[in-house]
Amino acid sequence: MGAIEFVGEFDRYNVASATGYLRFTYSGPLDLVALLYNGPNDAYPRTLDPVANCAPIAPATLLVVRDRGLARAGFDEPLSGRYTLEISDTPCP
């Protein structure tokens, strides 16, 4: 569980040794995205959002969660900016 509270803030996770499927959920009005990067030079990371909220982790090495537009903050809106990441062996639907 995490939260994006300030404009331009992002959370970063090393997922190089993770296996399975990543599920991303959040509540509130912020438009959060989780970006799965396959390496430091990956210009087109896989994007998880409310519509596509599940993906295989491999071959990603880095996960970044942020506001899609890097323009809003969650601290001033109730329950905004809070998210949950879950790793599971259950394939995405």
Residue 27 has pLDDT above 80, yes or no: no
* Pairwise CA distance, residues 51 & 5, whole Å: 22
| pLDDT above 70 for 78 | no
| pLDDT tens figures, 35-76 | 999 998 999 999 998 889 999 999 999 999 988 877 666 666
Structural domain boundaries of the chain? Answer: 2-88
Amino acid at 10: F
CA-CA distance, 69 to 8, in Å (whole number)? 9
